[in-house]
Amino acid sequence: MSLEIVQRNLLNILEAVADAVTVSSATKRCRLVAVSKTKSAEMIESCFSQGQRHFGENYVQELEEKSAALASKCAEIRWHFIGQVQSNKISKICNSPGIWCVETVESEKHARLFDKEWSKHGASSSPLRVLVQVNTSEEENKGGIKISEAPKLAEFIRKECLNLKFDGFMTIGSFDNSHTDGANPDFEKLYAVRKSWSEITGETPESVELSMGMSDDFLQAIQQGSTSVRVGSKLFGAREYKK
């Protein structure tokens, strides 16, 4: 896909996001995380030049390579790690320049490891933002913590992980639910998780993010309260995987 088309897609998606926010009764804001996995640094740079700042990667090696390649050219880039976390890759994620948010924390163990790793960055750096990934669709092959345990993990991060900033909840949801018309039950569940967290803590729900919605369902997700949509193929074109 040419850079011109990607730039045009970006403007179209940003406009669609803004329009959806205007009519949504469940959220007043929503940012776009451009999911650039398998796509080139050049494509990322062309979106950056149009003002896009948030980008998402789900393979550690790609995050490492692209964040290093773009560190000086795109200094204000904000990387989101959206892949499954493996303990032995946590230091690589934390050492990627411009890492802004890890969206896929699903256990106290990983939270502790991120906390410890980020503490090495010294008092001068601000806390690393993390989202608690919730397995709303309860599928075995999907990452994320159980719904009933999500608020507790969020509180663990807030109370025990001083180098981290708990910044909200994230879900992927089931394929079927994102390809069926009408309200998506996975999005409803994530919205309810944030609400129960808010009731437990006394914090307002809107003070943290709800990361839900991808290429096929980001408008529906905004209607249901998403504050952060993760869009890949609709922006950059279909992904090709090497065999």
Ligand X SMILES: *Cc1c(COP(=O)(O)O)cnc(C)c1O
Q: Could you say whether residue 231 binds ligand X (CB under 6 A)?
A: yes
Q: Where are the beta strands (DSSP E) in 84-219?
A: 99-105, 128-133, 164-170, 209-211
Binding residue (CB under 6 A) for ligand X from 82, 94, 219, 221:
82
Q: Could you say whether residue 132 binds ligand X (CB under 6 A)?
A: no
Closest CB 201 distance from ligand X, rounded Å: 26
Binding residue (CB under 6 A) for ligand X from 52, 58, 223, 228:
58
User: Smaller CB distance to ligand X: residue 163 or 236?
Assistant: 236
Q: Is 111 exposed, middle or buried (0-12, 13-18, 19+ CB in 10 A)?
A: buried
How is residue 134 annotated by DSSP? B
Distances from the Cα of 243 to the Cα of 202, 237, 240, angstroms:
50, 18, 9
Instruction: Please provide the DSSP assignment of 109-132 as one string.
Output: HHHHHHHHHHHTT-TTSPPEEEEE
Q: Could you say whether residue 215 binds ligand X (CB under 6 A)?
A: yes
Q: Could you say whether residue 232 binds ligand X (CB under 6 A)?
A: yes
Closest CB 234 distance from ligand X, rounded Å: 6
Binding residue (CB under 6 A) for ligand X from 35, 43, 70, 210:
35
Nearest 5°: phi and psi at 155?
-70, -35
Closest CB 35 distance from ligand X, rounded Å: 4
Q: Where are the beta strands (DSSP E) in 42-163?
A: 54-57, 78-81, 99-105, 128-133
Size, binding site for ligand X by CB under 6 A: 12
Binding residue (CB under 6 A) for ligand X from 10, 172, 208, 222:
172
Chain residues that interact with ligand X, rule: CB under 6 A = 35, 37, 58, 82, 172, 214-215, 230-234
